[in-house]
Structure 1
Amino acid sequence: MDEVRRPAWNIDVHRTALPAEPPGAPTPGGPWTQACRMVRDYEFSPPEIVRALYDPAAPLLGRDMLLEARFHALHFYCGVRVTEVVDETRDGTDHAWGWAYETLDGHLERGKVTYQVVKDGRTGAVEFLATCHSQGAPTLGPVTSLGWRLFGRRTQLRFYRRCGERMRHLVAAAMRGESVPARPPSTVDHLVYAPSDARAHRLDGLAVRRIAPG
């Protein structure tokens, strides 16, 4: 998009180094494969900040997801749609897999986020890569818009930092032979509530919930 440029948009690239593999193609059951699984199932998302509800039977490309953004006692429900799946070999050696979603009407933000796991086939280095361009949604009301300007960007950056920390922890645990995730995700009818350790808190009933917060 030609219109996506600073300062009107936030443009971010967040990289997290994961356990390495031997050079060459991805190792079966190795860090790259494990990290791809975490990305596929939205396990990397920190449940204290963002949770997701989606139909696992729906094809990944085109899948709609309902995100629950949690700002302390405020819970915002925002829709996104998976608009791109990344599955490619780059420069003949590097392997990348992941997907991207774009925000739908009623979201707190306007933009696109891409989550990828990339292996450098020459060195064996594996990294989790999150790239994003975003801005506050133009449809936000004055109160929500003020809140977004005051707290949204800070929370957004904390979210990406926690995603990286969580991904590193999950992959390291899987490589130690631990069962990751430790338990099946919660379900609502046929929908999955992710990540798998997202659980209702006794104080959630007191939270203020907003759907289509604009």
Structure 2
Amino acid sequence: MIPLGDRVFGRLDAVRVWKGLADARVNYSADEVRRPSWNIDTYLTTLPTERPGSPEPGGSWEHACRLVRDYQFSPPEIVRALYDPAAPLLGRDMLLEARFHGMHFYCGVRVTEVVDETRGNADRVWGWAYETLQGHLERGKAAYEVVKQQDTGQVRFVVSCHSQGAPTLDRITFLGWRLFGRRTQLRFYRRCGERLRDFVEAALRGEHPAPGPPTGVEHLVCAPSDARTRRLDALAIHRVAPG
């Protein structure tokens, strides 16, 4: 039996499932991505502005980068993540818990790209992207970038994603995805931007932007740090690697 304190994802033995991600491969090829069979989305959120020029120490861009690095922007009512904070960001495996309407789906992603550059238009950009692994209910890639336009001082959070439902979903998961998947996906993008903006504004006021210590098990942490496990989570329909 798993001790209650180790149940970061309800009744799931999350550490065992996370360890299994090491042998999983990315479940799609980039040359498959094309409309109309794939959803291709970009969602922009304006963050507090800085003065023109390089990112300011302790400013909006720096706070946003830290929060994005630690996956604090994810709305815990929709998606939570379990990962090893000591592992390098590039190549990091993350076990995601996607939650909607009494169903919890456990899927793996891997960070396959880290961006830290100044682009030709003088935008200062930092961010990272993960891709879905075998067993995920989706196929695709999500990129999260913090962008400062150095000529104007405008700071933005940019979420870019291409995705489609996995063709091998089991029947229960397929039904849930058809009913709620796309709607939940769009709500996820919107809530990510809202949370990051709220947290950056709080940090600039000198407040702790993500209340509460992180939960976790063994050497892994659950993000965002305001995610909490409730006893009722054990009653949800659980599906591990449904794709």
TM category, shorter: over 0.9
- 1:140 aligned to 2:169? yes
TM-score using structure 1 length? 0.97
When you count helix as a share of all residues, which structure comes out higher? 2
TM-score using structure 2 length? 0.86
Partner of residue 122, structure 2? 93
CA shift digits 1:152-188 (9 cap, x unpaired): 0000000001001101100010011102222221121
Quote how far apart the aligned CAs of 1:142 are.
Answer: 3.2
List structure 1 runs of 4+ shifted beyond 4 angstroms. none
Aligned alpha-carbon RMSD (Å): 1.1
Aligned partner of residue 80 in structure 2, secondary structure? strand
Q: Give the Cα separation in 2 of the matches to 1:178 and 1:79.
A: 33
Partner of residue 17, structure 2? none
Aligned partner of residue 140 in structure 1, secondary structure? coil
Q: Give the Cα separation in 1 of the matches to 2:122 and 2:39.
A: 31
Counting only pairs closer than 5 Å after superposition, residues 23-38 of structure 1 correspond to structure 2 as 23-38=52-67
- 1:126 aligned to 2:155? yes
CA shift digits 1:65-93 (9 cap, x unpaired): 00000113111100000000010001262
When you count strand as a share of all residues, which structure comes out higher? 1
Q: Give the Cα separation in 2 of the matches to 1:198 and 1:143.
A: 26
The one of 1, 16, 20 aligned to 2:49: 20
Q: Structure 2: which 5+ runs fail to align?
A: 1-29
2:184 counterpart letter in structure 1? T
- 1:166 aligned to 2:195? yes
Q: Size of the alignment, in residue pairs?
A: 214
Identity %: 73
Q: Give the Cα separation in 1 of the matches to 2:76 and 2:207.
A: 20
2:48 counterpart letter in structure 1? P
Q: Is the 8 A contact 1:24 1:93 kept in 2?
A: no
Counting only pairs closer than 5 Å after superposition, residues 1-214 of structure 1 correspond to structure 2 as 1-91=30-120, 93-214=122-243
